[in-house]
Amino acid sequence: MMTGREWVLVVMLIVLAGTGSLVLGAGKEPAGTAAGSAAGSAAGSAAGSAAGSAAGSAAGSAAGPATGTGGTPGGPAGMPDGDSRHTVVIDPGHPSEISGGANANGLREVDVNWEVGQALAARLAADPRIHVLVNRAEKMRMMTNRERAEFANRARAALVVRLHCDYAPGRSGFVIYYPDAQGTNAGRTGPSQFVITRSRMAAEAFHRGMARRLAGVFPDGGLKTDRSTAVGAKNGGALIGSIWSEVPTLTVEMIYLNNPVDAAFISSEAGKQAMTEALAAGVGEALASLPAE
């Protein structure tokens, strides 16, 4: 464990390094209608050059393993005393217990999620009001959806943004998902009404911010609930990551990976940048929408 002072130093170093990513927690499930295809070949062109690779490994390892014993006071991502910033946890989707992520059009979902996640972390780290954490240091590290939720719980995150790409025929654009009901996973029923209420508020605002930024650039697929996803429906109405979440959580299916137009969009520098900016706008709107606790 680190002291509060040490923690501040580590966070500052991360910010200075221009990345803001930390390491610890765990991943999430595919909200997607058709997720589930194996982590195949085709190392996507989107892979690789993320905005600063996970520089937070020092901080991350200091904070302990992701397989949470959970809730260690002052642990992983707890904010130092007197720090009023909002903690935002970025969860680049896959590989999880559900899936390694989809593959299509020469892209691997896990690469797209990771690269955009790193770019978003760098973007948010430049905002003095935000303390940003990425839940793991290595892209291919397997994290269960429960572990991903537990990472954000330990961080006492103001908001969790789970990044995915969907896979479904005849669709295009981005879609935001949030829990509007409880589900059950491994004996736990959740999330709480508090998390449901706040997740909905955050998701509505996040969707507004993102849609505004992408208007005329990339299609808005709308705001939907966890229960409309395959995994959510299977678990009684909520995604596994939502069931275990004690903090507001939402999932962004950024594109339909199997749609060549969507794939080309996210593969382009301009498209990637527009997506990153839109996600940052969504985070800003979401944080502004949440009442202080």
**Interface residues with Zn ion (CB under 5 A)?**
30, 35, 93, 164
Output 93 or 282, the one with its CB closest to Zn ion. Answer: 93
Output DSSP code: residue 226. Answer: G
Residue pair 4/62 in contact (Cβ under 8 Å)? The answer is no
- Here the tokens at position 20 are 């803001």
What is the spatial distance between Cα 93 and Cα 29, in angstroms, rounded to a whole number?
A: 7
Please report how close the Cβ of residue 278 comes to Zn ion at its closest, in angstroms. Answer: 18
Task: Find all residues with CB under 8 Å of 157, minimum gap 6, and list them.
Answer: 77, 87, 88, 89, 133, 247, 248
Residue pair 220/206 in contact (Cβ under 8 Å)? The answer is no
Output 30 or 221, the one with its CB closest to Zn ion. Answer: 30
What is the spatial distance between Cα 256 and Cα 164, in angstroms, rounded to a whole number?
A: 9
Residue pair 86/287 in contact (Cβ under 8 Å)? The answer is yes
Signed CA dihedral, 68, 82, 157, 9: sign only = negative
- Determine the 3-state secondary structure of 271 from DSSP: helix
Strand partners, 91: 162
- Determine the 3-state secondary structure of 211 from DSSP: helix
- Determine the 3-state secondary structure of 133 from DSSP: strand
Output DSSP code: residue 173. Answer: S
